Structure 1
Amino acid sequence: MARNARLIALAAAAFLLTLALMLRSYVADELEKIPARTELIMRLTDDSAAYLDTGTWKVVRDVPVERRTEVSGTFAPGDADWTTWRMSTSVSSRDTPLAHSERRVVVDRETGTAVNCCGEHVDGDKAVRQAGLVLHWPAGGTWEEYPFYDADIRAAPPMVFDGADTVGGLFVRRYVQTVDTTQVPDSARPVPARVLGRDRPGTVQANRWLELERTLWVEPVTGRVVDAREVRRETLRPETGDGERLLLDADLRMAEELVAGEVRLADQQRTLLQAVRSWLPIGLGAAGGALSVFALAGELRDRRATAAATGAQRN
Structure 2
Amino acid sequence: MSTAAGPVAVTGGPVHAARTVMVMVRREMIRTLYEWGRPFSLFLQSLLWLFVVSGGFGSLLPDLPDGVGLDTAMFPGVVTMTIVIAVMYSASSVTADRDSGFLREMLVAPVSRAALAFGKILSTALLATAQAVFVIALAGFAGIPYHPLLMAQLVLLSFVCALAVAAFAVTVAAGSTNTQTYFGVSQLLVMPLVMLSGALFPVGVLPGWLERLALYNPIAYAVDPMRQAVFDRVSAAPEVHALFNPGIHWSGHRLDASAEVLLVLAAAAFFTWTAVLRFRRLS
- Quickly name the TM-score band, shorter chain normalised: under 0.3
More strand by share: 1
The structure with more radius of gyration: 1
Greater relative contact order structure (CA < 8 Å, 6+ sep): 2
More helix by share: 2
